[in-house]
Every structure is written in structure tokens, then in C-alpha cells.
A and B are shown apart, each in its own frame.
Chain A
Amino acid sequence: AQKITQTQPGMFVQEKEAVTLDCTYDTSDPSYGLFWYKQPSSGEMIFLIYQGSYDQQNATEGRYSLNFQKARKSANLVISASQLGDSAMYFCAMREGSSASKIIFGSGTRLSIRP
């Protein structure tokens, strides 16, 4: 069965530092996608970045990059040069290719950026 684990309930980081949010997953499907979403205190769910299981390179989107280690089944989100506006909940999610409709989410990491 597919599973997503985020082991960091909360993190504090100094502004302008880089931060890594951990995510490990489990699936027996060779085809899957990994997603990161940001949920600020206002409540909306904002898509950040996507990594496909067959992608050869790590995904990047501006200050966000995904450190994809397939053998370790990890998909950590790296935020470079953190900003105060990065303070939010961050969710890792996975969607299997064979049962593609069921995206599952981790429990989230609350990131707080200190000025």
C-alpha cells in the first residue's frame, strides 16, 4: 500500500537560510508522482513542485527544488534563501500511476521563518 511519511512536525529556520523538508514514501508501483504543496495560514493549498518516478533529473521551480533519491524512496523539498512568506505548512503527496486518482498526503511540516 502506498504511504507518505513526513517526520518533522515543525521546523524553525533563520531568514535567508536554506531549509530541507523531509519526505519518504512507499509504493510498489514503478510509476508514480510526488508533489509538494504549501498551505499558508490563510488555508489555501498551493502547488509547488512535481517529480515523476521516471524523471532523470531533480525537479526545480525557482527557489524550490526536490531532492529525489529513488533508491531511498525519499523526496525532500529544498527551499533556498528562505523568506518570511515561506512560513506555512508543507505537505508531501504521492499519486500512483496505476491507481492514479488517489493522491495521498503526508501529515505535513510546519515551517516557521525567523527574521
Chain B
Amino acid sequence: DSGVTQTPKHLITATGQRVTLRCSPRSGDLSVYWYQQSLDQGLQFLIQYYNGEERAKGNILERFSAQQFPDLHSELNLSSLELGDSALYFCASSRGGAGLDTQYFGPGTRLTVL
């Protein structure tokens, strides 16, 4: 158990819908990262927040957005869902916002878009 929690574990929805994925980092970690893992794209970094502020952006679509709240939990919002958004979405956390801290991953949310 990495100490990172993600809810829900599974999510099934239809095209065009909007969903919210939630992540709580390990105790004491200030950074939260979101990743998408799909069969054709592999593991892709989406976005990072550090202590409530956006720190870095990766391959995140405009239909996707995220935020980190004062209690440091984070939410990833996916809207206008398409079939291709079906994937495993991971949240990870690390102690700091820069440098080479190890990222610890949550169990993931498996999103299926029908």
C-alpha cells in the first residue's frame, strides 16, 4: 500500500458525459501528479500540482482539467468523454514539487467509456 488513495476504482460511463476522479496523496506529500495509461499510448503524464498550484503540464487534453484543494487532495475532471478516453488513470504523489523525489502511485481508476 503506497498510501495514495484514489476513488472510484472503476467507472463506466457514456460518450459525451463528464466524470470526476479523486486522489488523496500520502501524508506529508505536497505534489500530486496525474497519469493516463492506455494500451496504445502507454503511460502518459498529464499534469502536476504542488501545494495547490499547477506546476507542470504534460499531454493533457483541453477537455480535461484538474485542481488541488487546500487539504491537498486533487480531482481530475474529464468532460465530453470519447471512446478513446477509456484508460487507467493514476494519481501519484511526492514530498516536494521539484527535484528528484520518488513518486508513489495510487491504485488507479479504470475508466470505461461506452
Contact = CB atoms under 8 A, between A and B. Distances in A.
Interface of A: 31-33, 35, 37, 43-47, 50, 52, 91, 95, 97, 99-105, 107-108
Given A46-B2, A102-B45, A35 B90 contact: no
The residue among A37, A45, A105 with the most chain B CB atoms within 10 A of its own CB is A45
A-B CB proximity, top 9 nearest:
A101-B56, A33-B100, A45-B105, A105-B43, A100-B98, A101-B48, A44-B107, A43-B108, A101-B55
Q: Identify whether the interface residues of B are mostly helix, strand, loop, or mixed.
A: strand
Contacts of B73: none
Contacts of B103: 35, 47, 103
Contacts of B102: 35, 47, 50
B104 A47 contact: yes
Interface in B68-114: 88, 90, 92, 97-100, 102-108, 110
A92 B34 CA distance: 18
A37 B88 CA distance: 16
A102 B56 contact: yes
Nearest to B99: A100
Q: Identify whether the interface residues of A are mostly helix, strand, loop, or mixed.
A: strand
Interface string B24-67: 00000001010000000011010010000001101000000000
B interface bracket (residues with beta carbon within 8 Å of A): 20 to 34
Nearest to A94: B100
B53 to A, nearest CB: 12
A91 B92 CA distance: 15
Contacts of B42: 105, 107-108
A43 B88 contact: yes
A100 B110 CA distance: 27
B49 to A, nearest CB: 10
Contacts of B31: 101
A113 B12 CA distance: 33
A17 B44 CA distance: 33
